[in-house]
Amino acid sequence: MRVKEDLILFIPELKAPISHKEAVALPPMSLAFIGDSVHSLFVRSQVTIGSDKQTGELHKEVTKEVCATSQAMVAEHLLPKLNEIESDIFRRARNARIHTSAKHAEMSEYRRASGFEAVIGYLYLTGQTDRIVELLEVAKL
């Protein structure tokens, strides 16, 4: 894994972050929707840059990390590190009414993964990319 200073390069910066108030007003699953794409781009960038692997192999590597089961495990590692706002966002997403489920995960894993994604989405939308890197480092992604 790259050093912390390099990790920030793998997360796009939002040109016009929104306020905390605007972010928490969004539905938790909307935050998770954004967080899923940010996490996916982060992992895709990490496995691709400097690799000579075929895209099929890269995809397999990415799907190991960007799946409900892996994200649920990451969430367990991160929970003690979340601040009060992040914990609240995690709980709101985990407890949200979910109309879909993951193909290869239990509903409890899917819910924890949604909580993880919502926190990442919130941090991204509010321009806190340093905090995203800090959390992903703790998770050893």
- Mapping DSSP to helix (H, G, I), strand (E, B) and coil, where does residue 96 land? coil
Which residue among 36, 52, 88, 130 is the active-site one?
36
Q: What is the C-alpha to C-alpha distance for residues 41 and 44, in angstroms, rounded to an integer?
A: 5
Q: How does DSSP classify residue 26?
A: S
Annotate 65-87 with b (16+ C-beta within 10 A) or e (fewer).
Answer: bbbbbbbbbbbeebeeebeeebb
Task: Give the contacts of 99 (CB within 8 A, at least 6 positions apart).
Answer: none
Q: What is the C-alpha to C-alpha distance for residues 12 and 39, in angstroms, rounded to an integer?
A: 11
Per the annotation, the verdict on 36 as an active-site residue is yes
Q: Give the number of other CB atoms < 10 A from CB of residue 28.
A: 26
Residues assigned a catalytic role: 36
